[in-house]
Amino acid sequence: MTNLRLEAALAIQERKQREKDRLERERRENQPAVKRKREEREKKREEDSKRWEEHSKAEVAERKELPLYEVIIDHLDVLDPKHDALRRRLIVAVKLAIQARSYDYHWSLSKEEIEGRRARAKEILALLETAS
């Protein structure tokens, strides 16, 4: 056989093998167990995506509202000794908020709003620490 005939025969054989491989791949992909697993993965991806979107929306809403420690300070007398446990917990939350605000320039709040909240948090911390 000449080189051209040999190359043509090899090319035909390779095409047949590729076609055979493709058909085998399609057969495997269409098996019920494989289809079910693929559908389960897709469903999980959709659920994860939905949970992430809901979480993101809730987080944006949370950032737009006053911080919880400000609401508590405005509505409870946390200097009262009976609120000692709450006051200790608020100190931790406010310290964390101060640190987070120094790095947090979230798109839902302007830089001025963030700095204002940070200054208010420092005032609240000073008030809480004087009572401890």
Tell me the H-state helices in the chain: 3-29, 32-64, 68-75, 84-103, 111-131
Give the torsion sign (CA, 117, 120, 124, 126).
Answer: positive
The tally of domains found in the chain comes to: 1
Among 99, 113, 128, 121, smallest CA distance to 63 is for 113
Query: What are the average pLDDT values for consecutive 10-residue runs of the chain, which has 132 residues?
Result: 80 92 89 90 96 92 86 90 92 89 62 85 92 72
**Residue 74: inside a domain, yes or no?**
yes
- 18 belongs to a structural domain: no
The answer to the question of residue 55 being in a domain is no
Look at residue 63 in the predicted model and tell me its pLDDT.
79
Decide if 111 is inside a domain.
Answer: yes
Residue numbers of the domain that contains 130: 66-132
- pLDDT reported for residue 102: 58
**What is the model's pLDDT at position 117?**
85
CB atoms within 10 A of CB 120: 19
Predicted local distance difference test score (pLDDT) of residue 21:
93
Q: Is residue 92 included in any domain, yes or no?
A: yes
Q: Which two tokens stand for residue 51?
A: 């949970």
- The verdict on residue 29 lying in a domain is no
pLDDT at site 103:
56
Name the token pair of 59. Answer: 């987080």
Answer yes or no: is 1 within a domain: no
Tokens of 7: 């190359």
Domain-embedded: residue 4: no
Global pTM reads 0.58
